[in-house]
Amino acid sequence: MARALPGFLPSFKRRRASVGVFAFPSAQAVAAPSAVLDDMAMLARASLWLCGFLIGSLLLSLGLTVRLIQTADVQPYVADGGVFGCQVPAIEEVRR
């Protein structure tokens, strides 16, 4: 029978499974009320900044959407051989 090469073939020796030390994480130390208030104030400022960023992004998106719709609302022109072309009057709205 071939000898087991370390790392290449499994060895057939019995191994004992050991369970490590099981422990819950230690509790945090008691903090002073002023330190907790400072942490809460810092989180409140961060929350306000993020809310402002969100509202600003929504307003910017709304403004860009309105601008895009206005830009896309174009009047059709026909190339009649002139420099500017001729605007085509809309007879009736096309419905799909």
Domain segments of the chain: what residues?
Answer: 35-67
Band (pLDDT 50/70/90 cuts) for residue 75 is confident
Q: Which of 95, 74, 76 is nearest to 87 (CA)?
A: 76
Give tens-digit pLDDT for 25-52: 666 778 888 999 999 999 999 999 999 9
pTM: 0.48
The C-alpha R_g of the chain, in whole angstroms, comes to 36
